[in-house]
Amino acid sequence: KLLNPLIRVQLIDWNPLKCDAIGLKQMPWFTSIEEFMANSMEDSKKEDSSDKKILSAVINKTIIPRLTDFVEFIWDPLSTSQTTSLITHCRLILEELSTCANEVSKGKQDLLKSVVVRMKKAIEDDVFIPLYPKSTVENKTSPHSKFQERQFWSGLKLFRNILLWNGLLPDDTLQELGLGKLLNRYLIIALLNAIPGPDVVKKCNQIAAYLPEKWFQSSATRTSIPQLENFIQFLLQFAHKLSRSEFRDEVKEIIPILVKIKALNQAESFIEEYHLDDL
């Protein structure tokens, strides 16, 4: 209780959303507490004292609530720079907390819960991809086409920023947010409405590139994760449309995407159907 007001003063100018924000271990109060704990531990009689719990208590009662406030009231999930910086500080702080406290802290749970709630709100409030008649967007320089493109890439940016939390948030949470609520509800619908061509291939490649590698590392399976089924079906339908258009050479670009997301059975059938055995 005595330390909290002193530490809060040092945190007045601290903004974990800025890439140049000072790290936890570089803060003056942190090094002071570490030195105090080290001196305290030298006395074997104090081995079981509460001194060694000071750091975890400060992180739980002062640092994590401060971080949570930034998440709830200031952080913009559509900003990649803010998200990257926030993740860096969350990772450092939670790693430090895990080394000095064995139990799962309520502060950590509240922080990560606030991250999930904020990202859900961003999906609900900030993602809007209009669907216009294809005749309206055929002209890439038309206002409708430009607006639709801008909104798609904004949604895809949020998709990327959500999946950057890989390693801090559980896989099922990220898959529900990124795949269930954003990819399947918004991005794929926009792709279905798009005119087949290289631009759509580029977008599909970007979607696949943002998916965490660890989701597909199991060598025992030849099928992808369930939430990607809609994306896989879109890729197959899109390839069929490409094969009948002037962009049929782009069909082969679909194979690496299917392989990346572990849709191996579909990839093999695809190769046979379009006679792409050289791949």
Question: What is the reported pLDDT for 276?
Answer: 75
Question: What is the reported pLDDT for 218?
Answer: 77
- Indicate whether 41 pLDDT > 80: no
Distance CA 35, CA 40 (A): 9
Averaged pLDDT for residues 133-150: 91
pLDDT in tens, 184-238: 999 999 999 998 899 999 999 999 999 999 999 876 677 889 999 999 999 999 9
Question: What is the reported pLDDT for 213?
Answer: 94
The percent of residues above 70 in pLDDT, for the chain, comes to 89
Based on C-alpha coordinates, what's the Rg of the chain?
24
Phi, psi (deg, nearest 5) at residue 169: -105, 150
HSE at residue 64, side-chain half, CA atoms within 13 A, is 24
**Token pair for residue 211?**
């998916």
- Indicate whether 3 pLDDT > 70: no
Distance CA 20, CA 8 (A): 19
Question: What is the reported pLDDT for 57?
Answer: 85
Question: What is the reported pLDDT for 153?
Answer: 98
Question: What is the reported pLDDT for 157?
Answer: 98
Distance CA 193, CA 187 (A): 10
Closest CA to 76 of 112, 116, 119, 21: 119
Between 54 and 187, whose confidence is greater? 187
What is the average pLDDT value for the chain, to the nearest integer?
A: 89
Between 53 and 192, whose confidence is greater? 192
pLDDT in tens, 244-257: 888 888 888 999 99
What's the Cα-to-Cα distance from 167 to each of 45, 172, 215, 239, rounded to whole Å? 39, 12, 11, 33
Question: What is the reported pLDDT for 125?
Answer: 97
HSE at residue 181, side-chain half, CA atoms within 13 A, is 22
Question: What is the reported pLDDT for 38?
Answer: 67
Question: pLDDT category, 94, cuts 50, 70, 90?
Answer: very high
